[in-house]
């Protein structure tokens, strides 16, 4: 099983939403989604985990790697709605992560709830409101 993703550019930030399970077989796809976010946005990236069913230790470490990649470009990674177990595997080398209880709270922290946006998503992303650019990562 792998993940599906949607990247939304909002007012001076990006929201990368994941669906599925972030395990070893999904790490490369997740890394590609982070690359997509780096190439198409500016400012912080909120990793929306609302639709994520869970993550393995390897998936959590992939999130830590993503935080480092983004930090190298002066873009912080923030998490919204982490899976129910609430665990994060600290590896000692990642930048600090802000964790929000849900996506609306994360957006409110950045005053980014309304306004123009652009979205891209993987092929099997559940159809959302509005038009979304489909792609094959």
pLDDT: which is higher, 99 or 129: 99
The CATH number for 3-114, chosen from 3.10.150.10, 3.20.20.10, 3.30.750.24, 1.20.1730.10, is 3.30.750.24
- The full length of the chain comes to 137
Q: Tell me the whole-structure pTM to 2 decimals.
A: 0.86
Residues 80-119 pLDDT 10s: 998 876 666 556 666 778 899 999 999 999 987 666 678 8
Mean pLDDT is highest, among 62-71, 80-89, 124-133, for 62-71
Left, alpha or beta for 54 (phi > 0: left; psi -120 to 50: alpha)?
Answer: left
* Confidence band for 38, pLDDT divided at 50, 70 and 90: very high
Q: How far apart are CA 112 and CA 133, in angstroms?
A: 21
């Amino acid at each position: 099983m792998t993940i599906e993703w949607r990247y939304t550019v909002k007012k001076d930030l990006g929201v990368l939403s994941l669906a599925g399970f972030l395990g070893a077989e999904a790490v490369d796809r997740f890394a590609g989604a982070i690359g997509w976010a780096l190439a198409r946005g500016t400012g912080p990236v909120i990793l929306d985990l609302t639709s994520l069913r869970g993550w393995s230790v390897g998936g959590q470490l992939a999130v830590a790697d993503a935080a480092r990649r983004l930090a190298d470009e002066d873009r912080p990674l923030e998490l919204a709605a982490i899976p129910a177990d609430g665990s994060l595997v600290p590896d000692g080398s990642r930048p600090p992560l802000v964790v929000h209880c849900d996506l609306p709270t994360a957006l409110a922290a950045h005053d980014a709830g309304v306004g123009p946006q652009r979205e891209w998503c993987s092929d099997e992303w559940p159809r959302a409101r509005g038009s979304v650019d489909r792609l094959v990562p």
